[in-house]
Structure 1
Amino acid sequence: MARKLIREEGLERALRLFWRNGYNGTSMEMLTKELGVEKPSIYATFGSKRSLYLEALLHYRTSMVRRVAEFLDSAATPRAGIDRVVRFMMTSLYEPGVQEGCMVTNAALELADQDREVAAHVSTMLGEIGSLFEKSLLAGQKSGEVTTRVSADLLAAYLVNMIEGTRITEKTRPSKEKLRALAQFSLSALDPAFDAPHAHRALNSGAVTT
């Protein structure tokens, strides 16, 4: 008897496969092997390979946004939460068991210019994370932890772009020391006493070789 596909389990397995190989690099044969069921079972549960991919992308998006919100909400101060999120997203790339890159960023590079639904997922996730950052940045500005020389919405966009840029360049295998230095430099731009020459010196201090 063919094994019944459990939706939640199948979605998690498909997510890891799409994350690792991309949409075009994942075949139905790979999915049937990973999920341990035949094609008719996948079609009956998810509709199509594309529908399964979009559902996996939504699952990733909601999980990541929820995790960022939890990090920010549980922190002792707004700035502590921001620092935790940025360091996690910029320097946890090489931790054991962590997939390469960001699935939403990978989706943007592979499909967003040709698939409106994928583009919408990408835009929504980046907007949601940016909004979470903006809320914490505003709180940090009020408490004196974050510079007021730049608007909170612009600082939020800056952090999102720094994070996503790092996720793209992850595949070039920069050293973890360099990633940590970049995360520190990115966060130094939020400091109330931030000045560019000092930040430039901070970036170049320590081991930052690839």
Structure 2
Amino acid sequence: MARKLIREEALERALRLFWCKGYNGTSMEMLTRELGVEKPSIYAAFGNKRSLYLEALLHYRTSMVRRVAEFLASAPNPRAGIDRVVRFMMTSLYEPGVQEGCMVTNAALELADQDPEVAAHVSTMLDEIASLFEKALVAGQKLGEVTTRVSADLLAAYLVNTVEGARIMEKTRPSKEKLQALAQFSLSALDPAFDAPHDERPLNLRGETT
């Protein structure tokens, strides 16, 4: 008797396979083995391989954005939340069950220049995380926890760029100590200790002073 496909479980399994092997490295045969069902069941539930990949990518995107939002919301103060998110995203490679790289970053490197829908998912997730960072950074600046010599939108873009760069570097299996040091150094850019005098206007994302 054929195994019944449970949609959420199947999506999680497909996500892990795409995350590990990439879109082009994942065949329908691999998906049937991983999901434990025959091809017709996959086609009936998700359509073709590309449709399944896009749904898995959306599932990853919404899960990651939700997790970042929860980390920030549960922190005792904005700066602690930012630090927690950055350290988690940059140093979680060696935690049990964590896969190498970021699914969205992997998608960007493999497919974004060929597939507009993939590119849209990548852009949206990075924008959503940047927006969460920016809100926390603004709150941190008001409390004196974050530098005001750079605008919150530029700092948010810097953090997203730094985190995603680290996720790419994970593919080379850097040491845990190296990742921790990079996270610490990256976060030090937020420190208010070396703020410019108040009469100097901060630099923003457009490279202008505001």
Q: 1:184 maps to what in 2? A: 184
Aligned residue type for 2:193: A
Quick one: distance in 1 between partners of 2:93 and 2:82? 18
Q: 2:90 maps to what in 1? A: 90
Aligned residue type for 2:102: C
Q: 1:207 maps to what in 2? A: none
Structure 2 unaligned residues grouped into runs of 5+:
196-210
- Matching of residue 69 in structure 1 with residue 69 in structure 2: yes
Quick one: distance in 2 between partners of 1:173 and 1:35? 28
**TM-score, with structure 2 as normaliser:** 0.92
User: What displacement does 1:55 show?
Assistant: 0.2
Quick one: distance in 2 between partners of 1:86 and 1:173? 18
Q: 1:162 maps to what in 2? A: 162
User: Cα deviation per residue 1:98-122 (whole Å; 9 max; x = unaligned)?
Assistant: 0110000000000000000000000
User: Cα deviation per residue 1:136-194 (whole Å; 9 max; x = unaligned)?
Assistant: 00000000000000000000000000000000011111111111110001000000014
Aligned residue type for 1:3: R
Which range moves more in the overlay, 14-23 or 1-10? 1-10
Quick one: distance in 2 between partners of 1:68 and 1:161? 15
Runs of 4+ in 1 over 4 A off after TM superposition: none
CA contact (8 A) 1:72 1:81 kept: yes
Quick one: distance in 2 between partners of 1:154 and 1:3? 50
Q: 1:130 maps to what in 2? A: 130
Residue aligned with 1:25, SS? coil
User: What displacement does 1:2 show?
Assistant: 1.1
Quick one: distance in 1 between partners of 2:86 and 2:51? 31
Quick one: distance in 2 between partners of 1:134 and 1:102? 21
Quick one: distance in 1 between partners of 2:49 and 2:111? 14
Q: 2:54 maps to what in 1? A: 54
Q: 1:40 maps to what in 2? A: 40
Aligned residue type for 2:47: G
**Number of residue equivalences:** 195
Quick one: distance in 2 between partners of 1:45 and 1:97? 27
How large is the RMSD of aligned CA atoms in angstroms?
Answer: 0.8
Which range moves more in the overlay, 89-98 or 118-127? 89-98
Quick one: distance in 2 between partners of 1:162 and 1:18? 24
Q: 2:118 maps to what in 1? A: 118
**TM-score, with structure 1 as normaliser:** 0.92
- Matching of residue 108 in structure 1 with residue 101 in structure 2: no
What percent identity do the matched residue pairs reach?
90
CA contact (8 A) 1:101 1:167 kept: yes
